[in-house]
Amino acid sequence: MKCPKCRARMYAEKYYDFVRSFDAWKCCSCGELLDPTIVANRARNNQHFLG
């Protein structure tokens, strides 16, 4: 997978919360973090027309 910000390589990583754990993608270069919630929120926000 390639990072949407810098196009560098991303790797899968497991994160732990107080209640649950989840998988996300992290960029080797810039540190961008993507999980299903972040992707859904960005897709929803990009559908709004601001002009």
Tokens (6 digits) for 31: 């540190």
pLDDT of residue 1: 86
Tokens (6 digits) for 5: 């910000």
pLDDT in tens, 1-51: 899 999 999 999 999 989 999 999 999 999 999 999 898 888 887 776 554
Whole-number Cα distances in Å, 42 to 4, 13, 20, 48: 12, 20, 22, 11
